[in-house]
Amino acid sequence: MLAPGAALRYTANVVLDRLRVPIVQAPMAGGPSTPALAAAVCEAGGFGMLAAGFKTAAAAREDVERLRAATRAPFGVNVFVPPEAPANPAAVAAYARRLGDGLGKARFDKDDYDGKLDVVLETRPAVASFTFGCPDAGTIDRLRHAGVETWVTVTTAAEAAEAAAVGAAALVVQGVEAGGHRGSFAEGEGDVGLLALLQLVRAETDLPLVAAGGIATGAAVAAVLCLGAAAAQVGTAFMRCPESGTAPPHRDAIGTRRPTALTRAFTGRMARGIVNDFMREHSAHAPKAYPEIAHLTAPLRQAGDPERAPLWAGQAHRLALELPAAEVVARLVRECDSALAALPSSVERRAEQ
Ligand SMILES: Cc1cc2nc3c(=O)[nH]c(=O)nc-3n(C[C@H](O)[C@H](O)[C@H](O)COP(=O)(O)O)c2cc1C
């Protein structure tokens, strides 16, 4: 019998234990994630994920149905945990004035969190992964009873401890190298690199870890496995695949030598993208106001001007290849195996050498 308030622990992480190859395709809201991309990764032996963020619950359900029609392999669905309260309206209004006319209406909403949880509970994917927050123990319990494992994205050791305490089955450890939004939810945003973060999180919990951020080659997959991760979650390296829904100007920017930076300018939440004019002009002025700013700038995303729309990408985007997703997976596995095989059995040099 569990003590009152104690979180139920998963006895095993069935999904990660059974993966044929330790590659998770990162959920990527806003277009890049498609059922076709997830299906291709699943069929190649990895773990495909759908992104439910920034779309309706009905559209998320359709994605699940399309993915189920394309593969019998297990997959995951990713959901944004909403903020508890609206941002400071004066700060939002000041930023709206700065951006000028022709933008959308800043408003607070919860991205239909409850509707999306219902979709997950009803369609029962193998995994529900959460970002921007940590679901409560009751939600994780309901998911567990429906046969769905809960993964929580963390960016600090404190977030890892919080997610472990409410009963997460696994943690997606997101280093600061990662493309797209930071999954941070605790006070003080995490800006820790993946190498340091994996060590810090491992010192906090023995939960299985999925490493994310800047992983674009098999050598990097090998590195995170050496650091104790059960799998690598790869995002940007899949964005140039034909199965991905990355918009053409965004696709063109990925794979170049252009630098990336963190910014709140587009959504009011920290995210990493390729530096463009809009970021240069507004990053220093953007308030912490998600999702208000995301609604405000929605017309910029629809217009798709690459200097005014976000070009989310991780620090290693230069290495993303224009290849079918199955080939990206196969290449990562091949390179990972070679990197591991090239390691000496001991790094200690013998006296006679
Ligand atoms: C375009 C884009 C969209 C993303 N959308 C989501 C999302 O909807 N949910 C989520 O948990 N993470 C999202 N991420 C972050 C990824 O899950 C992951 O942490 C990141 O891609 C890993 O770094 P990498 O891009 O360098 O591989 C997104 C990343 C990118 C590049």
- pLDDT tens sequence across 275-304: 999 999 999 999 999 999 999 999 999 998
- Domains of the chain (ranges, CATH numbers): 20-338 (3.20.20.70)
Q: Whose CA is nearest to atom 10 of ligand 1?
A: 27
Which atom of ligand 1 is the closest one to the Cα of 130?
A: 11
> Where residue 5 falls among pLDDT bands split at 50, 70, 90?
very low
Pocket test for ligand 1, best of 78, 120, 176, 181 (most atoms within 8 A of CB): 181
Instruction: Give the C-alpha distances (Å, rounded to integers) separating 212 from 120, 154, 183, 340.
Output: 23, 10, 11, 19
Tens of pLDDT, residue by residue over 244-282, are 999 999 999 999 999 999 999 999 999 999 999 999 999
> Where residue 186 falls among pLDDT bands split at 50, 70, 90?
confident
Can you give the pLDDT at residue 2? 44
Ligand 1 site, residue 51, Cβ cutoff 6 A: yes
Q: Whose CA is nearest to atom 6 of ligand 1?
A: 28
Average pLDDT on 74-87 reads 97
Q: Are 150 and 144 in contact (CB under 8 A)?
A: yes
Pocket test for ligand 1, best of 23, 24, 25, 28 (most atoms within 8 A of CB): 28
Mean pLDDT of the chain: 94
Asked if pLDDT for residue 148 goes beyond 50, the answer is yes
Cα-Cα-Cα-Cα dihedral of 82, 208, 238, 219, to 10°? 140
Ligand 1 site, residue 215, Cβ cutoff 6 A: yes
Please tell me the pTM assigned to this model.
0.95
Distance 247 CA to ligand 1 centre (A): 15
In angstroms, the CA 51 to CA 179 distance is 14
Distance 180 CA to ligand 1 centre (A): 5
Percent of the chain topping pLDDT 70: 95
Ligand 1 site, residue 184, Cβ cutoff 6 A: no
In angstroms, the CA 152 to CA 172 distance is 6
Beta-ladder partners of 78: 51, 129
> Where residue 180 falls among pLDDT bands split at 50, 70, 90?
very high
| Phi/psi at 235 (5° precision) | -110, -75
